[in-house]
Structure 1
């Protein structure tokens, strides 16, 4: 590379598509290098690399005209400036405003501009200064600086002299500093602009930040240095013979007499073979033939270790390069994507780099947590939405085993889609030749850095940038440069004339019916959902409909959930309480508000209840269970089941009564049946029985402890008990207003005026704070809001707060007392609800709720009875589907079991309060106080759907943040037969699937009993 030391920087570059890299070192591989073989094998920090992370002097200006333009000069005194952390986002260090927008550009409605213009009067500038001395062991050697990530454009000076300029926030920008150095202390100055031509290409669905947000370091190179390394591990057509080629581009011409020795080791550290390199001017090649190599896959991420030792002409070792190698072959066979000859199914997620405190500045601890969480929940693939990630992420994917779609830093969503409508009248890059080089530069930077990672199976040409010749040229570049991988681009869906931009049919949020239509009509390409089952807060309903396609259609090859982690930021409210904030909470305008919280993991890296469903639906090992046996289906492509124990457990009413471990070994792609054998006495008593079959890690792994459960299946059956009649006497007092029913140590009171049960007193304790009434509304979810459910079904909200009791009847029988209330509603004359309370001598109350349907009304969100007891009754014990919340369209991962929690912990801390905490399949639920007394709700014939919360649905409906909820005074119990599902095909118009709705035109009823706990 030649550095031009006489370039004069210009602000015009910020709006010039032809200027995006000045004096930048060409893109190259991300390999590391050492002085000795021992250093390389120890994987220690590079001695030839010096971090510049830490505190830098900093000045913030709202626009270029107010910046200190001469700050880079040696005589400019920056000592009085503030200090800022590097890496960090400027907006999270106390300057400017974080802004969240999705598809629109952040200046929409504020500045009337078109690309490549940027609003210079609204273009924050960060001026950074760092003084450094060249480390002694790096003196008299060429010196470089690497910026791993700067958003979105920046200028660099050293000792007052201009060094270079770069755009592209998410790939490295390296510059040579050698010619600018001075003895002793050197002044490094960096000027970062938030807006540039690059900002038009970075319209991703994320927070808009700026600044130096990835590592910065100095590095030097030895006398013979491999500038770029390309490792190609290939397999023959039988997948049994491997060839390994390490192609090296040196920084300068290789002198005669120099040599290279390559050594290949297996995963145990055993030397496989050695080979000498062949030189030609500035390049060298080392090749190996490997018979029967162990193959890399997500199931078994087997990595070889390659060491390249470079010797100078005096036979002195000058450089050692360690490089992990994975042998694998990814290709399309008969229109199906195959890894090592086997059809692959991506069980994936889209992942933003994100931390709730530091934004896109993520640590290795964050990354390791993410990748272990993915492995533990059967996620096998990740799409780097929508930009290249830190190098360390790809190394972890190599090591732990994740398939990667590596996506270049390109999204121009707001240029072609407005309010969801396709309008490409001024889209970029399209067919605009002036955008070709700046876009291609991003593709080159990604591929050259990441090309040696076996985890990367697919290059992606970016996201949501419509289509056109510019992107087609990028796709062809990927194919020409790297035929070992496939190319992905979803945008051709909107412009089929550019079909060649993608090797696969990729869609976002396609409905299942549309996918089936594609697959059943002579498809030309394999199909993936690059984004699907939008996981916005309480969501992911109906995901099973997509995973059901996996074994029905060979060309359906899975998808990537949107998305992995909520993008919410910690903030303090007026009272100093810290909370997770979303768009608009920083007074950022324009904004897309709550739309940044659509992860299956919360922003504070706590698991969402949605992960329960993901883990089950993504499991590669299926367990079909009945009372006679277990069918184990191993749907892995390569791995057998030897790493796991098969354990089956019998429980009666949630209590374990038998458990065994079975010997098993099922090869990939096969299945086996195992008999269940246990004494008859185990299931002799009446009760609800479950058989749970689980696959558990036999030994600790990199991502899970021994005993960790990776797969499960359950069978449930009932063994009915004889119903015993309650004995004792009841005393009925029918007053003018109230109806009292009294028995031993209990009393029940009904009010004709209130039209409901008003008192339930067991052993002197009152359990009814507010009476039970029919309710048809649940707190709205974000998905509900997305398809305007409150507009279409808002009559049910009115019916939930306004009713008239039109009839009260009392029937005092010998064995029970029945009190019946009938309610009418203004929303429909035919709509009636009858609630019958039957009080028995033992103090139990059977409750029958019946809703007579009325044609012409929208579907019901729910039909339930809801009442409040004191907040002192805060301890919960369930025999229900769990342990996490679950809904009619999101309950595959839930298992019938017995579990405990509290009213406070039962709900889910979604960033915006909404419906949460519901359980389906409820057999019984106990609500007790600290002394263990309270009440029990028990299903009578069919299982119930129940919710217990500190707040009513209407209180939750009014809150935009958890701190806006009122103080807790009550425990709110809501009992129903069913509640509508939560949906999740998308969050902007897709309703709940019909089979998970409640029709208003039919009758609904449920029965349960209330007992003392």
Structure 2
């Protein structure tokens, strides 16, 4: 790892380069740098973590860069074939070399990139080298409310084809007006790369098999010897239909023949027969209204970061099924391909969202990347990459043209592309303004309405409503979740939504503490990835500006501030990156910080206002050690630099109380996930807090034994690991914890989502009545076997049944209560 692209080892990509020197280490790929301890972890919500924020430019003073080298043996059977190198996901921009020969560049890390490396390979051992930059210009389109991860975080693979091969297949199904019989169409693209291309036509043969491997039908087409496309069609009598409750899959096997009629290439494509329509303001699947019981799902794991392991993905879907979740919005980028495979096989609707969010530049048309001409190709590139990767998955319910990126000309172009290429699927758009809608959107996705506001939208809408984000699951939330679903079940045009969000966003970080030498033993921990370097005296803490800071645990001794105070520290400022807080106790007590790149200030809060003294920093400020000190004696604020008083201001009063902790390197109240600059960039040493106003001569003696807090940073002690939210609490919003522990609100959600509801009035009268969300409710007089008047355990009592239009996949029998977590179900 290097801090800048210019610092990577010279010619590391050359064939024969020796990686046993220069500090190289082995890593497991896929991975993310931040969870492997290789780079600084940063969580942001609205602003970018890049400073300055100047699209499409990226920082030059720091841009962490990883260099990878991998060798492999080329199988002998591949030597006369085409070989492709495929990356499923890399953030952000990366360059690729094969055997020292430059193969290409890609950015936009959430969809695949393929490189035809056939002409760069040789028999035997070959070398692939990759240089990954934390930030590329595409990073400005990835301003997600999440941890900002980097690295090769999805699979990398090689595959081989004949010289003439099946390059692409687009499968579409169309049901008849009775939703019984189907027309299957496969558009097959053939690439011809062989040196002996014949003018003879080639056959493309298709065979459809059912889930038991029985042949259902065959079809065929023809392409010229020079390549091209063929359209294969077949009528299929009453195929088993795909829904989230009945995920019936067929397999289409496609074969390409050579000029002599022999099969030269074979591939297989899963097929699900289903029809998506919008009629009378309702979204229908196979002619039936569906309910979207969804969550927004970010790919996050405390130990692997953005790398979603197959085990984590599979367990997520299992848990979702148990919690009556039947849909995922892939917030805010296409998920790992394995999610779609499982969604097809196990039944889960997907709102497939393109990897575009420009939250800090979404004020269209004024400050809006979607409006700028130079960004149009980048927007479209990401949309087409998602479409081409995911177009054949029956689980993909809607195409989503982006989150919190405004509404600009790029979005209209994307919608035009989707309408042209895939008119059968609805288009969805998620700007903050207008509220989850666009003129081209087929489905309205309001964001964070109240239940009463949702009802008003239901009365006014001209299209189906599926909420894009709602019921924010932070803390003790979802208390009014049933009220949302009362509206959903009352109005046929309101069909559910996506809760924000699925899992809390922690990452596992080492718990590093540094001792307090004042004698008070106040515990302080180090956040981020600062360095321990040579200091003014002994060691010091080097802060990168990328969310490195020290948080001092609250202690009564530090909270007991009255009318006297001294702050003292040695600092070695590095290049200015927008802020430098030396010591602060939130924004309503005291702070010693840089106001701007030329000004140091000391502030005390009292009587409802800040009282400040400031001074210009001396020449030679950056890159050298300076002592900064500030005192307040109840009447006068004084600021000292290198032992000399540089400014003073009179104010009589007491330092304001604040429940915020003392921090070194940031203001804990203001420098959180929405900070618009970097945090402190430089080195700090010998930090002191006194609850008395020291005179200059006493300060010179460094009486740390009289301090309330004294941090020398001579060592960092690892006390284990902890789950970090980073600089703020923006990631504390899941219905399950980061380790997938089910939180109480998830049980409320599961009960309300349940397809069967029990009338409380009937139960209190001594009987019970079941109501399903489907077309065949149980007889009113029969009740349910083993019905109980109350939902047991932690489950809230179910809402009274209400009339609903037919819903796809409703169960044929009743249960007496919502399912327990051990019982997979869903509707």
Quick check: TM above 0.5? yes
1:343-392 alpha-carbon deviations (Å, 9 max, x no partner)? 22211001011211001111111111111111111111110000011111
- 1:184 to 2:319 alignment: no
1:890-909 superposed matches below 5 A: none
What is the aligned partner in structure 1 of residue 6 from structure 2?
Answer: 65
What is the aligned partner in structure 1 of residue 741 from structure 2?
Answer: 606
- 1:259 to 2:203 alignment: yes
What is the aligned partner in structure 2 of residue 74 from structure 1?
Answer: 15
What is the aligned partner in structure 2 of residue 823 from structure 1?
Answer: none
1:73-95 alpha-carbon deviations (Å, 9 max, x no partner)? 23543222122221111222222
Which of 37, 44, 53 matches 1:101? Answer: 44
What is the aligned partner in structure 1 of residue 236 from structure 2?
Answer: 290
Contact 1:694–1:710 under 8 Å retained in 2? no
Q: Distance in 1 between matches of 2:818 and 2:44?
A: 43
Which of 318, 338, 352 matches 1:372? Answer: 318
Rate the CA distance shift 1:696–1:616 in 2: closer, same or farther, 3 A: closer
Instruction: Report the 3-state secondary structure (helix = DSSP H, G, I; strand = E; otherwise coil) of the residue aligned with 2:370.
Output: coil
Which of 67, 70, 84 matches 2:27? Answer: 84
1:756-813 alpha-carbon deviations (Å, 9 max, x no partner)? xxxxxxxxxxxxxxxxxxxxxxxxxxxxxxxxxxxxxxxxxxxxxxxxxxxxxxxxxx
Contact 2:181–2:235 under 8 Å retained in 1? yes
What is the aligned partner in structure 1 of residue 389 from structure 2?
Answer: 449
Gaps of 5+ in 1: 1-59, 417-422, 656-665, 676-691, 698-703, 713-1013
Instruction: Report the 3-state secondary structure (helix = DSSP H, G, I; strand = E; otherwise coil) of the residue aligned with 2:371.
Output: coil
Q: Distance in 2 between matches of 1:308 and 1:190?
A: 34
Q: Distance in 1 between matches of 2:311 and 2:791?
A: 41
- 1:530 to 2:468 alignment: yes
Contact 2:354–2:382 under 8 Å retained in 1? yes
What is the aligned partner in structure 1 of residue 110 from structure 2?
Answer: 170
1:196-251 alpha-carbon deviations (Å, 9 max, x no partner)? 11000000111111111111111111243111110111112221220001111011
Which of 267, 270, 278 matches 1:324? Answer: 270
- 1:129 to 2:69 alignment: yes
- 1:556 to 2:679 alignment: no
Q: CA deviation at 1:591?
A: 4.0
- 1:635 to 2:773 alignment: yes
TM-score by length of 2: 0.68
Q: CA deviation at 1:488?
A: 0.5
1:37-61 alpha-carbon deviations (Å, 9 max, x no partner)? xxxxxxxxxxxxxxxxxxxxxxx11
What is the aligned partner in structure 2 of residue 568 from structure 1?
Answer: 506
Q: Distance in 2 between matches of 1:654 and 1:545?
A: 21
Q: Distance in 1 between matches of 2:526 and 2:286?
A: 44
Which of 442, 446, 462 matches 1:507? Answer: 446
Contact 1:213–1:361 under 8 Å retained in 2? yes
What is the aligned partner in structure 2 of residue 236 from structure 1?
Answer: 176
- 1:619 to 2:754 alignment: yes
Contact 1:264–1:307 under 8 Å retained in 2? yes
1:815-834 superposed matches below 5 A: none
What is the aligned partner in structure 1 of residue 246 from structure 2?
Answer: 300
Instruction: Report the 3-state secondary structure (helix = DSSP H, G, I; strand = E; otherwise coil) of the residue aligned with 1:306.
Output: strand
1:568-606 alpha-carbon deviations (Å, 9 max, x no partner)? 0112324799x9999968779864211112111111122
What is the aligned partner in structure 2 of residue 404 from structure 1?
Answer: 350
1:87-109 alpha-carbon deviations (Å, 9 max, x no partner)? 111222222211111111113xx
Q: Distance in 2 between matches of 1:668 and 1:515?
A: 21
Contact 1:99–1:591 under 8 Å retained in 2? no
Which of 242, 245, 250 matches 2:185? Answer: 245
Contact 2:85–2:159 under 8 Å retained in 1? yes
Instruction: Report the 3-state secondary structure (helix = DSSP H, G, I; strand = E; otherwise coil) of the residue aligned with 2:730.
Output: helix
Q: Distance in 2 between matches of 1:118 and 1:137?
A: 44
Contact 1:634–1:667 under 8 Å retained in 2? no
Q: CA deviation at 1:649?
A: 5.3
TM-score by length of 1: 0.56
Q: Distance in 2 between matches of 1:245 and 1:639?
A: 37
Q: CA deviation at 1:635?
A: 1.1
- 1:273 to 2:199 alignment: no
Gaps of 5+ in 2: 515-522, 529-545, 551-664, 674-727, 794-803
Rate the CA distance shift 1:113–1:531 in 2: closer, same or farther, 3 A: closer
Which of 378, 383, 387 matches 2:333? Answer: 387
Contact 2:454–2:484 under 8 Å retained in 1? no
Instruction: Report the 3-state secondary structure (helix = DSSP H, G, I; strand = E; otherwise coil) of the residue aligned with 2:431.
Output: helix
Contact 2:407–2:438 under 8 Å retained in 1? no
What is the aligned partner in structure 1 of residue 653 from structure 2?
Answer: none
Q: CA deviation at 1:317?
A: 2.5
**How many residues get paired?**
604
Higher Rg of the two aligned structures? 1
Instruction: Report the 3-state secondary structure (helix = DSSP H, G, I; strand = E; otherwise coil) of the residue aligned with 2:489.
Output: coil
Instruction: Report the 3-state secondary structure (helix = DSSP H, G, I; strand = E; otherwise coil) of the residue aligned with 1:199.
Output: helix
Rate the CA distance shift 1:359–1:273 in 2: closer, same or farther, 3 A: same
- 1:486 to 2:426 alignment: yes
Contact 2:364–2:407 under 8 Å retained in 1? no
CA RMSD between the two structures: 3.4
- 1:594 to 2:532 alignment: no
Contact 1:571–1:580 under 8 Å retained in 2? no
Q: Distance in 2 between matches of 1:390 and 1:277?
A: 33
What is the aligned partner in structure 2 of residue 4 from structure 1?
Answer: none
